[in-house]
Structure 1
Amino acid sequence: MIKKLALVFFLFLGTSLKSKANFDFNDNCINAYQAIFDLRLNDARELIQKEKNQNPNNGITILLDNYIDYFTLLTTEKKSDYERLKNLKSGRLDALENQDKNSPYYLFAQAEVYLQWGMLKSRFQDYFSSGLDIKKADNLLDENAKKYPSFLPNKKSSGLIDVILGSIPSNIKGILSTFGFKGNVDNGIKTLEYLSTALPKTSYGFYKDEVVFFLCYIETDLVHNKASYSKIIGLTNSMDNTSLLKAYLQGYVSARNAKNDSAIAYLLKRPKGSAYTDFPTVNYLLGNAKLNRMDSDANVYLINYLKDYKGINYVKDAYLKLAYYYYLRGDNNRYNAFIKMVKSQGDTYDEKDKQALKEANDAAPDMNLLKARLYFDGGYYPKALAQLNGKGADDFRLQRDQIELYYRLGRIYDELGRDADAVNNYQRAINLGKSTTYYFAANAALLTGDIYAHRNDKAKAAYFYKQAIAMKNHEYENSIETKAKDGLKNIGY
C-alpha cells in the first residue's frame, strides 16, 4: 500500500513538474521562429499550436505569438489589423508575468513584447505610446542584464534600442534625455555586429537572422553608409534560401543603395507559394526598380501592389509612378487618370506619399528631368548625365525645372566623385531655389556641407549646413534640418 501511494505521489509530482510554467526554446519553438523569419506564418502558427498542445505552460509560445503579429503588421501595414492586434499586448504581458521568474527569458520576453509594439506603434504614427513602450523594454533589459550578464539574446534587443534611442533627431533629443531616453548608435551597431558572428557559435544561433534583419535597416535607413552594402548583403547570404524575408531584404538594401539591377534580380528570384504570407511591398519595390530601368513591365508590378495592398503607405506614390510610366510613353490620357488617383486615393503618413501628392498638384514634369531622376535613383549615373548633357536653365520654362536641373546635375556629379562639378551645380540650385517651397536648394546645401565635411573643411561644411537649416517652408524641411544639425554636431559645431 505504501509503495502504491509513493508511486502515485511521484507520478503526480512528475506531472506537476512538467506542467509548471517555464521557458523552453525547444525544437518546436526554434522551428516556429525560423518559419516566422521565412515569412511562412501559417507554418509557424501550426508549430506554435503543436507546442501549446505538448507543453501548454511554455512561455516561449506567448512570445512567438507576438512575433507573428509583429510580422503580420510589417507585411500588411493594415490599420484595422493594427487596431485589432494591439489589444492583445496587455494579455500577453500578464501571461508572461505568471511564468518562471528564475529564467533569463522572464524579463527578456516581456521586454520583447514591449519593444516589438513600440516599433509597430511608431510605424502607425502612435509616437508617444511607442516611446513609452521602448523605454519600458529598455528598463526590463537593463534589469535582466544585471541578473544574467552573459545572456546573449538580451544584447540583441538592448543593442537595437541603443540605436533607436541614439538616432532620435537632435532637435528633440535634449528634451527626451530628461526622461531617460538615451542611446548610442555606434555602440548599438557594434553590439549587433558582434552578435552576428558570436551567436552562431552558441545555443542561441537561431537569433542571427533577427540580428541581420535589424542591421539591414540600420545600415540602410539610419546610417546611410553605402560602403556597408557588401557587408550587409554578405550577412543576408547566411539566411536560408527558402526565406521570403531574405529576398526582400536583399532587394530592399540593393534598391536603397542604387544597385538597381541587383535589386530586381533578388526580388524576382524570391521564393513563392501558398506557404508564404502576402507581402505586396515586394511588388512595389519591383515596380519602382523596373521603372528606374525603364522596363516595359514596370506597370504590372505597381498595379499588382495597388490591387493587393490594403495598408497605409505608398499608395499615392505607386499611383504617381504609374502616371509617370505612361507619361514616359506619351500616353497622356492614362497619365492624367493616374494623377487623379494620386489626389483621391491613399494617405499621407509617409513623406513619399506627401511628396507624390505635391507632384500631382504641380505641373507635369519635364521629360528629360524625369528620365534623369529615374536613372539616378537606379544608380545609372552615366545615363542620367547623358539625359541632361548640354542643358541649361534657358532650356526650361518653369523655375522648378531650372532649379531641378542644377540640383540633379549636382547629385549625379556627387555620385560620380566629381566634387567640384557637384558643388558648382549645387550652388546654382541654392541661388535659384533658396526662397521656393521645393526641397532642391535646401538639400543641395546639406549635400554640399557633406562634401566639405568629408574633406575635413569644417568651416565651409558648417556654412552650408547652416544654410540648409536657415531655409524654411520647403518639402522635407524637418528631415533636411535634422540631418544638417547632425552634420554640425559631427564636425564639432
Structure 2
Amino acid sequence: MKKKVSWLTYLFLLFISFNSWGSDLSFSSQEAKAYHHILSLRFDAATPYLTKKTAGVVYLENLKESLKIIFSEDSDLFNDFKDDFEDRYEYIDDLSTSSAYKKFYLAELRLHSAFVHLKMGAEWDAAWDFRKAYKLIEENQDEHPDFLPNYKSLGMLHIMLGSVPSKYQWILHLLGMNGTVEEGIEEINKLAQSGNTFQKEAEAIRCLLKSYLLNEQKEAIEEFKKVYASSSDNLLFGYLYMSLLMKASHGQQALNLYHKLTNLSDGYYTLNILHYSAGEVYLQKGNYKKAQQELKTFIEHNTGKNLLKDSWYKLFLSYWLSGDSSSAKEAFDKAKNTGSTVAEADKHADKSLKKDNYPNQTIMKIRLSTDGGFYERAKQLLNQKAELSTDEEKTEYTYRKARLYHKTGDLKKAIDLYKETITMAGSQPWYYAPNSCLQLGYIYIIKNNEAEAKKYFEKVLEYNNYEYKTSITNKAKASLNELED
C-alpha cells in the first residue's frame, strides 16, 4: 500500500511540475482539442474551439494558416498571413505576464513565419525570422530552464544551424547564432520522452531525424509505426509515415497506406502532395498508367511552383519507360519550361533535363525499382543486357548494382561494387562516389569496424560540387560525430 501511495504522489508532483511554468497561457482543454484537430489537418473541426481570443488561440491560428501555406503554396493565403502575422505577434507580445509560454509562443510564431517565407522563396525574410526565433527561445531558456516546450523550438533551431555548410558558419556566428545537430537531437529527445502536450510532435520529429539525418531507417519506421498507430486519424502523421516508408524503400507499404489515407472520412484538408508521392511509387513499381494518373492529378491541382518540374519529369519517365516516345517528348519539353528549381527534387530534375540524351532505360528502371523496394523486379532487370555508351552510364550501372546488393543484404558484393564505383568515378562531379563512401561507412559500422567507417565518412568530405552534396555531407558529419561520442 505504501508503494502505491508513493507512486500516486509522484504522478501528482509530476503534474504540478508540468503546470508550474506559468499555466495562465498554457492550452485550455478547448485549445488542446483545436491543437489535435489542426495537427491532424482537420482545420474546420478546429474552428469552434478558436472563437475566444487568447494567446493559445492566436498561436493555433498561426499554426493552422502556416500549415495551409506550406502544403498549398497559395500566394493569396501567403499575403493574408503576412497581414495577420504582425497583429498576432503584437497581441502576445503586449500581454503583461511572466509566463514562460509568452516567449515560447512568440518564438514559435517566428518559426512558423520562417518556414512559410522559406517555402514561398523569401529566403532573407526567413533568415531574419529564424534569428528572432533563436534570440527569443534562448532568452526563454535562460529565464525558464525547466520549461520543456523550449526544447521543441531549440531542438529544431540547433539542428538547422548545425546543418548549415561549414563555409557559411561564420555568418551564423556573426549573427550570434550557433548550435549543433547533436544538441538539437538531444533536445528533441527530452521533449519526446516527456508527458508534455507537444510530446507527439516531438516523437514525429525524432523519427524524421533518425531517417533523414542519422540513417536509422529501421528504428525510424518502427517508432513512427507506433506514433501513427496511436494517432491513425492524423492525416499529417499519415503523410509523414508514408514519406518514411518511401525513404526506407518500402514502396508497397507506402501505397497501402496511401489508399488508407485517401479513404479517410470527410473533413480533412485536401493534401495534394499525396498524389505526387503515390505517382512516384507507381513509377518505381513499373505501373506507368497509374503513375501518370497520380502525377497528372497532382499537377492539375497544384497551386505552387515546387515539385512541378519534377512531376513533369517523372511523367516524362513514365512515358519514356513504357515506350510512348511522342508523349515522352511533350512531357520532357513541358518539364524544361515549368516550375522552379528551389526544391531538391526539382534541382535534380533540372539537371537531368539539361542533358543531351534521355536517361538509359535499363539503368533508370533498376534505379527506380531499387529505390521503391521492388527488388525482384530490379534483379530481373539486372539479368537483361544493358547498352552502356558513356563512362557515366558505366559508373552508374555499377553503383546501382551496389545499391541493390546493399539493400538486399549481400554486403560483400555491395562493398566490392561501391569501391569499384569510387575508382570508376574518379574526380568526376557525380554523386555516385561520395554516396558510395557514405554507404561504405554505414556498412563498416554494422561490421563494427569503426576505423574503416571513419575513413570513408571522412572521404565523403573531400568531394565538392556534386548533386545532393549538402544532404550527403550532413549525413557523413552526423555519423562522424556519433563515432566520436
Where do 1:119-130 residues align within 5 Å? 119-130=115-126
Q: Counterpart in 1 of 2:305?
A: 312
Query: Partners of 2:427 and 2:477 in 1: how far apart?
Result: 20
Q: Which consecutive residues of structure 1, in runs of 5 or more, have no partner in the other structure?
A: 1-21, 53-57
Is the Cα contact below 8 Å between 1:215 and 1:232 reproduced in 2? Answer: no
Where do 1:370-389 residues align within 5 Å? 370-389=364-383
Q: Counterpart in 1 of 2:390?
A: 398
Is the Cα contact below 8 Å between 2:26 and 2:101 reproduced in 1? Answer: no
Query: Partners of 1:79 and 1:171 in 2: how far apart?
Result: 33
Q: Counterpart in 1 of 2:140?
A: 144
Q: Counterpart in 1 of 2:129?
A: 133
Cα offset for 1:467?
A: 5.1
Where do 1:313-462 residues align within 5 Å? 313-362=306-355, 363-389=357-383, 395-452=387-444, 455=447, 457=449, 460-461=452-453
2:69 is aligned with 1:73: yes
> 1:259-306, CA deviations, whole angstroms, 9 ceiling, x for partnerless residues?
111111112111545522221111111111122122342221111110
> 1:209-244, CA deviations, whole angstroms, 9 ceiling, x for partnerless residues?
3223423432232333113220122122222x3322
Cα offset for 1:125?
A: 4.4
1:188 and 1:97, CA in 2 relative to 1: closer, same or farther beyond 3 A? same
Cα offset for 1:162?
A: 3.2
Report the 3-state secondary structure (helix = DSSP H, G, I; strand = E; otherwise coil) of the residue aligned with 1:89. helix
Query: Partners of 2:187 and 2:285 in 1: how far apart?
Result: 37
| More deviation, 141-150/265-274 | 141-150
Is the Cα contact below 8 Å between 2:137 and 2:150 reproduced in 1? Answer: yes
Query: Partners of 1:242 and 1:350 in 2: how far apart?
Result: 29
Q: Counterpart in 1 of 2:233?
A: 242
> 1:442-461, CA deviations, whole angstroms, 9 ceiling, x for partnerless residues?
33234334434554656655
1:211 and 1:96, CA in 2 relative to 1: closer, same or farther beyond 3 A? same
Percentage identity across paired residues of the two chains: 26
Q: Which consecutive residues of structure 2, in runs of 5 or more, have no partner in the other structure?
A: 1-23
1:216 and 1:125, CA in 2 relative to 1: closer, same or farther beyond 3 A? farther
Is the Cα contact below 8 Å between 1:434 and 1:471 reproduced in 2? Answer: no
Q: Which residue among 276, 283, 288 is the counterpart of 1:284?
A: 276
Q: Which amino acid aligns with 1:333?
A: S
Report the 3-state secondary structure (helix = DSSP H, G, I; strand = E; otherwise coil) of the residue aligned with 1:198. coil
Query: Partners of 2:409 and 2:119 in 1: how far apart?
Result: 35
Cα offset for 1:486?
A: 5.4
Cα offset for 1:307?
A: 0.7
Q: TM-score, normalised by structure 2?
A: 0.85
Where do 1:268-283 residues align within 5 Å? 268-270=259-261, 271-272=263-264, 274-283=266-275
Q: Counterpart in 2 of 1:264?
A: 255
Query: Partners of 1:163 and 1:399 in 2: how far apart?
Result: 38
> 1:345-372, CA deviations, whole angstroms, 9 ceiling, x for partnerless residues?
1111112112112223332222221221
Structure 1 or 2, whichever has the larger Rg, is: 1
1:480 and 1:23, CA in 2 relative to 1: closer, same or farther beyond 3 A? closer
1:476 and 1:434, CA in 2 relative to 1: closer, same or farther beyond 3 A? farther
Cα offset for 1:35?
A: 1.4
Q: TM-score, normalised by structure 1?
A: 0.83
Query: Partners of 1:248 and 1:294 in 2: how far apart?
Result: 22
Q: Which residue among 40, 43, 48 is the counterpart of 1:41?
A: 43
Query: Partners of 1:30 and 1:380 in 2: how far apart?
Result: 42
Query: Partners of 1:396 and 1:424 in 2: how far apart?
Result: 20
Report the 3-state secondary structure (helix = DSSP H, G, I; strand = E; otherwise coil) of the residue aligned with 1:422. helix
Cα offset for 1:325?
A: 1.4
Is the Cα contact below 8 Å between 2:457 and 2:480 reproduced in 1? Answer: yes
Q: Which residue among 156, 160, 164 is the counterpart of 2:156?
A: 160
Q: Please, what is the CA RMSD of the aligned residues?
A: 2.9
Cα offset for 1:329?
A: 1.9
Report the 3-state secondary structure (helix = DSSP H, G, I; strand = E; otherwise coil) of the residue aligned with 1:51. coil
1:147 and 1:314, CA in 2 relative to 1: closer, same or farther beyond 3 A? same
Query: Partners of 1:154 and 1:33 in 2: how far apart?
Result: 18
Is the Cα contact below 8 Å between 1:111 and 1:140 reproduced in 2? Answer: yes
Q: Which amino acid aligns with 1:118?
A: A
Where do 1:216-235 residues align within 5 Å? 216-228=207-219, 229-235=221-227
Q: Which residue among 30, 33, 39 is the counterpart of 1:31?
A: 33
Report the 3-state secondary structure (helix = DSSP H, G, I; strand = E; otherwise coil) of the residue aligned with 2:358. coil
Is the Cα contact below 8 Å between 1:247 and 1:269 reproduced in 2? Answer: no
1:435 and 1:153, CA in 2 relative to 1: closer, same or farther beyond 3 A? closer
Q: Which residue among 276, 286, 290 is the counterpart of 1:297?
A: 290
Query: Partners of 2:481 and 2:166 in 1: how far apart?
Result: 9
1:482 and 1:231, CA in 2 relative to 1: closer, same or farther beyond 3 A? closer
Cα offset for 1:468?
A: 4.2
> 1:169-194, CA deviations, whole angstroms, 9 ceiling, x for partnerless residues?
34433552454323243443344334
1:390 and 1:307, CA in 2 relative to 1: closer, same or farther beyond 3 A? closer
1:155 and 1:81, CA in 2 relative to 1: closer, same or farther beyond 3 A? same
1:161 and 1:468, CA in 2 relative to 1: closer, same or farther beyond 3 A? closer
> 1:459-481, CA deviations, whole angstroms, 9 ceiling, x for partnerless residues?
65565456544444433344445
Query: Partners of 1:191 and 1:177 in 2: how far apart?
Result: 21
Q: Counterpart in 2 of 1:117?
A: 113
Report the 3-state secondary structure (helix = DSSP H, G, I; strand = E; otherwise coil) of the residue aligned with 2:305. coil
Query: Partners of 2:453 and 2:330 in 1: how far apart?
Result: 44
Q: Which amino acid aligns with 1:384?
A: A
Query: Partners of 1:421 and 1:384 in 2: how far apart?
Result: 16
1:427 and 1:175, CA in 2 relative to 1: closer, same or farther beyond 3 A? same
Cα offset for 1:404?
A: 1.2
Cα offset for 1:208?
A: 3.1
1:467 and 1:157, CA in 2 relative to 1: closer, same or farther beyond 3 A? closer
Query: Partners of 1:23 and 1:471 in 2: how far apart?
Result: 50
> 1:12-57, CA deviations, whole angstroms, 9 ceiling, x for partnerless residues?
xxxxxxxxxx636223322221111111123323431x224xxxxx
Query: Partners of 2:400 and 2:326 in 1: how far apart?
Result: 28
Q: Counterpart in 1 of 2:8?
A: none
1:391 and 1:175, CA in 2 relative to 1: closer, same or farther beyond 3 A? farther
